[in-house]
Structure 1
Amino acid sequence: MTPAERLARLRLIRTPHVGPVSWHQLMQRFGSGEAALQALPDLALRGGSGKPRIASVEVATREIDRVAALGARHIFSDEEEYSPLLREVEGAPPAVIIRGDMAMLQRPCIAIVGARNASAIACRFARQMAVDLTARGITVVSGLARGVDTAAHVGALGGSTAAVIASGIDVAFPPENAALQEKIASDQLMIAEQPPGTEPLARHFPARNRIIAGLAQGTLVIEAAPKSGSLITARRAGDFGREVMAVPGSPLDPRAQGCNQLIREGAILIQSVDDVLEALGPIDARMAREPRRAFIETLAIVDTGDGDRDAVAGLLGPTPVAVDEIVRQSGRPAAAVQLVLLELELTGRVTRHAGARVSLM
C-alpha cells in the first residue's frame, strides 16, 4: 500500500459521518481510499446534503506522525497482520492502532471480561484462569478496566495478552493502570481504535467491546451486573457467532446477576479452564477457517434512483430497524438499500446500531 493510499484511507476514517460500515462500503464500491474521497461530495449531494467536511491531509498526517512517534502503527483491515477473526465481524474497525506484537493474535484468543468492582474471589479466579489459558498457548484478550480485566491481564503476563482500550494509544485509563498498560504495550499487545490523545468517553466503550468480542473465539464473563459493559461484550460475541461463557455466582450478589442471566439464556457454565477448552473444541481449526464474504459485495455494481431513496427513507424513523426488514418492506434489492443508507449516513441523517440496524438521527 502506497503512503498516499494509507493517507487517503485514514482521511476517510476520520471524516464525519463515515463509520466502520460505511467505510467498508465505500472501499468496496470504489476500490481505494483515494477514489472514495473523490466520490464523497457526489454521494453526499445525492443524500440531500452539501459538501461533506472531509478530514484534511494535515489532520491525517499529524496522526500518522504522532502514532509513529509513540512507537505504534496503523494496521488497515485488509492488511495481512489484521486479525482474520476481527475482519469478519459486522462493523470491523477500518484500522487499528497497535503497539506490540501482532503475532499474539495468531494464537487462539479468549476474551475475559467482568465487573470493575469485582469481588476478591472473582479477581483471583480471573487471574488463575488467565495463567491456565496462556499455559496452553492461548492469548487472553481484555479491556484493561479495573477489576476482572486487570486481573486477567496480570495473570496472562507470563504468556500472551492483548489489551483493547477505549482511549487513544497514549492515554492511560484507568490512571492506576498506567504501568500495566505500558508493560503490555512494550512486551505484549495494545490495541486502540481512537486516534492518539482521545480521552475515553462513554460512547467509545461499546465500540471497544465489539473489538474484544471480535478478536476472540469465545468470551468468558466473570461477574457482571445486569446492564454492564461486560454483558454488551458477551452479547456482541453471540451476535458474531462466537462462544459465550459465564462463571456462576451467588444469587445474593448483584455482581453475579449478569452471569447467572447469561447462563439462563444459554451461555456455557464455566468452573475451570478445562470447561473453556471443552466448550471451544478444536479452536485451531477455527483459526484456519476462511473469513465470510462481505455482505456488501454487490455495492460495486449497483446504483440508486429517486424511487429507491424515497422507498427506503419512508421506512426509517427514530426507532432502530433491521436493514433486512427495510429490504423486505421496500421491495428493493439489498445492494440498492445499502447504497441509499450509505448516502443518508454520509449526510448525517442516519445512524447505525449493533445488529445491522439503522435509525434516523
Structure 2
Amino acid sequence: MVTRAHTGGSSAAAPLPDEPAHRRLRAAPPSAGGRSRAHRLLIRLGRRILALALAWLLAPAAQALDVALLLSSHQTPAYRTFAAELAAATAGGAHHILPAGDLDAGIDTAMLAHADLIVAAGAPALAAAARRGRPVLGVFVSRAQFDAVRSQAPEAALSAIVLDQPAARHLALARAVLPEARRIGLLFGPDSAAQARLFAELASADNPAVTLQPVSDPSELQAVLERTLKAHDALLVLPDEWVSGPAAARAVLLTSYRYRRPVLAYSRAYVEAGALAAVYSSSGDVARDVADWLAQAPAPQQTLPPVRAPRYFSVAINQRVARALNVDAPNEAAVLDAIRLEERR
C-alpha cells in the first residue's frame, strides 16, 4: 500500500508520483496571473450588466395616445357596436379611446383638435376627419371610398383598414362552400373594377375559373346578369352601387333564383336577404383589427399603417337557400376554419 508523506513545514499534500495528472491539475492552486485575469473579466461583465440595467430603467415609457372616435351616425347599429367593441378591446391598454360624437348629433371639435389620432367610422366621418389636420385611420369604408376622400384631401395624413376582402379569401369561400363549382361569374361596376382585376391574378388549377362581368351602366344590369348566370355555376358580387345597391341586389337575387344559381356576396345582410354565403368583417372584427394596431403604436409621431384589407373576418351561410338549391353547405364555423387554415399556409 502506498502512503502519502507529509512534511512538517507544509500543510499541502504533495502529489504521489503515480497520481493522475488531471488530479494534480485540480489540486494545484491557481496562479496569481490567472486570478488577476478572472477578476478583470468579472469586473468587465458586471459593468456591462449594470449599463444594460440602467438603460432599461431610464428608457422612456411608451406614450399613450388620445384616440378620438368619430362616427358617421349614431343610428347605425354597426357603428355603435364597433364603438363598444373597441372600448372593450382596448380596456386596460396604454391608449385612451375618447368619443368625439357623430355627424348626426354633433362633433366634439375640441376633442378632434387635440387628439393624437382620429379613428373615423364610415365614409362621411372619414371625409369630415380629413379636414381636421390630425392623423386619421378610417374604418367601415371601401377602398373606392377611401380613394375618393384621399383625392379631396391629398395632403391629409390618412389611412384605412378597408372593408374589401382579399380576392384570395373570396375564392377560398367559394372552394369551401361550392367545391364542385368550376366557373364563377364576377359581377362588378366602376367602383369595384380595381378589386375585380385582382381575381385574374389568382387563376390556377386549384381555383374555379373566374370571368369578369362588368356592368358599365345600371341599365345593363339585367342583361349582364342573365348572360352570366346562363354560363356559370355561381355568381360572385362585389360591393358597388351599380351591382349591389338595394335595387340591384333585389334584381341579382331574384334572377339567380330563377336560374337556380347560388350567389356569393360580401356582407351578412346580403346573405340574410338571399345570397348563399359571404365573407365579411363584422364590427367586432374591425374593432379587434384597430385594437391590435393601437397596441403597437408607441407614440403620436408613429407613421400610420398602409391602407390594407382586414385581417379578421367572419363567414355567413344561408342554410335555407342552400337547401333550396340542393347545395350541401358546411356550417359557418367549419368554413371559417377552412379559410383561416388556408391563409396560415
* Shorter-chain TM-score above 0.5: no
TM-score range with shorter-chain normalisation?
Answer: under 0.3
TM-score norm. by structure 1 comes to: 0.26
Structure exhibiting the larger radius of gyration computed from Cα positions = 2
